[in-house]
């Protein structure tokens, strides 16, 4: 007589076999890690996770992050078996499953809710998009920082509105990527007792065993970071796993790393090719053998035995329902006693703005010397933040230079002993900062971070993910050009602006003066589902006389006519961004003195301009005026879309050089004379062409 497996074993093997079947049917994916870690995720979700499948965006839920996103079937199986419901973009519960069995059957196929790596917003229950290793780990640090900040901001006696924990499942690849080390160092420094990483130490990567390239004593490393470290010698020992998680939950003053020893493709003893088990389907014969090993029907496919869904509903489902219902009951009483805070909480969850958030934004008077746009940005930021309580952020050790420190009374520094501060200090950790900002934004905090534009290169992966996830992180990048001068080409960005513009969904804005800065902040604060990058100068920019030239309100449309020829019939159009707009104005005035009609277009944002209708775009850049000149201290790649194939592009074609700014402007051709000469040549070429 066959021994009936326990319900725990039945559920674990259901996760494993769903993962095997999905990968096999797709003929693509990673079956080994889901098979090995099924007991870990089962134990965490079924016994501990405070999560209601009926409402996967309940604000005080525990967060589960699958940093090793190649094991995506592990998460999809859990979302299906626990009955997680779908939520739409308007935060409405739809009553239908987030992941159906058909979605799993179409794993990695077009239009499935089960893509190759988990994607936030596409699949409800996925807390963050993962796949690039290390990103999920670092993002979880932002979620944990947010959890403590929310608790200090909202909790009141008898009203524990926030006390959630954050769990991240990670692997050897995550531990090798530098971003996880950056983030772990900061997490330990901030004593994030609500953060637990579960490290699957299986010692296998795509190329083979990790001893080819990785021999770290991970436990010692994390102890040095200030983490609590626990070990579980066998991923299948669910009782030891439970003890380790219980220890984490009792530990309040340090983050916890649980090191779990597992074997890729555990339970498939016939498989000896570690790379295949990690990154390829097992093959039909191996799937049958593995199912036989589990005591599973060998010819079954996508089988969910009776009782499995009921068991999950009685565990994570019932616990989650009770906790969520209790939370919303507290919220109803909270609204009566703390109505202002309840209003803030409601607005945060829907990414709505507080009333009057922009009431104190300054208007800057005309000034020939003007302000560096980083300075005017700092003034605008500090006019907004006091009226926007959940706007918090900081810098990768550069706040004095990026002017992003909040200076109003009560802003405070976010530190281990002051988790409610609004000034974050990321240290010299740009990569981790970007990922942590994503975690903050995913927790509905309005987050900003800053660095020099040149160091946006260090942040490219998390910036890309913020755009992919459509979360409204604000990036403040200063020292935007060769205007950095003597610091030289290592600090003078050339191709970085182009790189930011190439990211789909990212709004990049390079304002020309202080009033364009103010309007740029109005735009980015109003974004709900798009990240934005403000690109700002170190050197002063003249504040344009707006009674003579057009209003800076045109920033919201990406490009606008700043100065125009009489009767709006220019012979040439000069297009500039940022500091080069003032240069275009000087050239415009010189051309006017010579009787040459010109138009100056300030184009702070390509992305916003492309969102306008064709009529508006043609009004700003008339199709019949082909004589055009673009002026920008950056790569000229891409400017042909606005100046045409024959237009002049004054920009950077090499790296910069270390010298005073005036010398650099002359060396690289950023002078009124060069712009005037280019404009005249364009007009001559246009006449010849006609």
Measuring CA to CA, which residue among 427, 421, 407, 600 is closest to residue 513? 600
Which of 528, 536, 485, 529 shows the shortest CA–CA distance to 670? 485
Residues 6+ apart with CB under 8 A from 250: none
* d(C-alpha 521, C-alpha 613), whole Å: 23
Report the chain's terminal Cα–Cα distance, integer Å: 94
Is 285 annotated as catalytic? Answer: no
User: Which residue blocks in 527-598 are alpha helix, DSSP H?
Assistant: 580-593
Q: Give the C-alpha separation, 464 to 327, whole Å.
A: 34
Q: What gap in Å lies between CA 687 and CA 67, rounded to an integer?
A: 60
Cβ atoms of 524 and 475 closer than 8 Å:
no
Specify the residue for token string 């079956």: 31
Q: What share of the chain is helix, strand, coil (3-state, %, to 5)?
A: 45, 15, 40
- Tokens at 531, concatenated: 């990240």
Can you point out the beta strands (E) in 245-360? 256-261
Select which of 127, 182, 286, 430 is catalytic: 430
Q: Which tokens in the block code for residue 174?
A: 């995550």
Q: Quick one: tokens of 321?
A: 């329902």
Cα–Cα distances (Å) from 569 to 598, 641, 686, in that order, read 8, 21, 15
Those residues with Cβ within 8 angstroms of residue 370's Cβ, 6 or more apart along the chain or in another chain: 513, 514, 540, 541, 542, 543
How would you label 217-247 residue by residue, b for 16+ Cβ within 10 Å and e otherwise?
eebebbeebbbbbbebeebbbbebbbebbee
Under DSSP, is residue 471 helix (H, G, I), strand (E, B) or coil?
coil
- Please give the positions annotated as active site: 430
């Amino acid at each position: 007589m066959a021994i009936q497996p326990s319900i725990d074993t039945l559920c674990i093997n259901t996760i494993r076999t769903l993962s095997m079947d999905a990968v096999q049917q797709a003929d693509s994916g990673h079956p080994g890690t889901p098979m090995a870690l099924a007991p870990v995720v089962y134990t965490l979700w079924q016994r501990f996770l405070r999560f209601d499948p009926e409402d996967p965006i309940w604000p005080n839920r525990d967060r589960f992050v699958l940093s090793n996103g190649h094991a995506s079937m592990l998460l999809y199986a859990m979302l299906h078996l626990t009955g997680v419901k779908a939520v739409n973009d308007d935060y409405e519960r739809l009553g239908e499953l987030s992941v159906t069995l058909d979605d799993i059957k179409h794993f990695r196929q077009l239009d499935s809710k089960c893509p190759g790596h988990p994607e936030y917003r596409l699949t409800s229950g996925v807390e963050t998009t993962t796949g690039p290793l290390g990103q999920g780990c670092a993002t979880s640090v932002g979620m944990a920082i947010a959890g403590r900040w929310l608790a200090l901001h909202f909790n009141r006696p008898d009203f524990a509105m926030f006390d959630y924990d954050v769990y991240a499942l990670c692997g050897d690849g995550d531990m090798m990527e530098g971003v996880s080390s950056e983030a772990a160092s900061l997490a330990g420094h901030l004593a994030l007792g609500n953060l637990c990483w579960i490290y699957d130490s299986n010692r296998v990567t795509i190329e083979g065993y990790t001893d080819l390239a990785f021999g770290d004593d991970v436990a010692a490393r994390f102890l040095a970071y200030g983490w609590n470290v626990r070990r579980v010698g066998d991923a299948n020992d669910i009782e030891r796993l439970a003890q380790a998680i219980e220890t984490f939950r009792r530990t309040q003053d340090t983050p916890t790393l649980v090191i779990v020893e597992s074997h890729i493709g555990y339970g498939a003893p016939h498989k000896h090719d570690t790379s295949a088990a990690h990154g390829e389907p097992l093959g039909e014969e191996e799937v049958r053998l593995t199912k036989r090993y589990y005591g599973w029907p060998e010819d079954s496919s996508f089988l969910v035995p009776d009782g499995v869904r009921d068991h999950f509903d009685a565990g994570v489902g019932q616990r989650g329902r009770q906790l969520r219902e209790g939370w919303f009951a507290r919220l109803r009483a909270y609204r009566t006693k703390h109505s202002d805070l309840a209003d803030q909480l409601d607005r945060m969850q829907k990414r709505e703005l507080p009333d009057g958030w922009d009431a104190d934004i300054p208007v800057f008077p005309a000034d020939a010397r003007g302000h560096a746009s980083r300075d005017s940005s700092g003034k605008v930021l500090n006019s907004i933040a006091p009226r926007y309580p959940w706007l918090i952020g900081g810098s990768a050790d550069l706040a004095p230079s990026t002017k992003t420190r909040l200076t109003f009374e009560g802003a405070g520094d976010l530190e281990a002993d002051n988790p409610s501060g609004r000034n974050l200090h990321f240290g010299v950790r740009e990569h981790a900062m970007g990922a942590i900002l994503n975690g903050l934004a995913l927790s509905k905090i309005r987050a900003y971070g800053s660095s020099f534009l040149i160091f946006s290169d260090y942040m490219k992966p998390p910036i890309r993910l913020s755009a992919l996830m459509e979360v409204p992180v604000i990036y403040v990048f200063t020292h935007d050009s060769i205007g950095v001068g003597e610091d030289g080409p290592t600090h003078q960005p050339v191709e970085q602006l182009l790189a930011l513009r190439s990211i789909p969904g990212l709004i990049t804005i390079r304002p020309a003066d202080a009033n364009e800065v103010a309007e740029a902040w109005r735009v980015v604060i109003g974004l709900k589902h798009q990240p934005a990058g403000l690109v700002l100068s170190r050197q002063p920019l003249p504040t344009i006389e707006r009674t003579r030239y057009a209003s800076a309100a045109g920033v919201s449309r990406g490009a606008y006519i700043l100065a125009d020829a009489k009767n709006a019939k220019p012979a040439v159009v000069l297009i500039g961004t940022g500091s080069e707009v003032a240069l275009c104005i000087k050239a415009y005035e010189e051309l006017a003195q010579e009787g040459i009609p010109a138009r100056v277009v300030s184009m702070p944002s390509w992305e916003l301009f492309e969102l306008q209708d064709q009529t508006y775009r043609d009004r700003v850049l008339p199709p019949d005026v082909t004589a055009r000149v673009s002026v920008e201290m950056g790569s000229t790649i891409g400017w042909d879309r606005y100046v045409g194939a024959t237009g002049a592009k004054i920009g950077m074609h090499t790296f910069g050089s270390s010298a005073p700014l005036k010398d650099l402007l002359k060396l690289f051709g950023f002078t009124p004379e060069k712009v005037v000469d280019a404009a005249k040549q364009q007009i001559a070429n246009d006449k010849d062409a006609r």
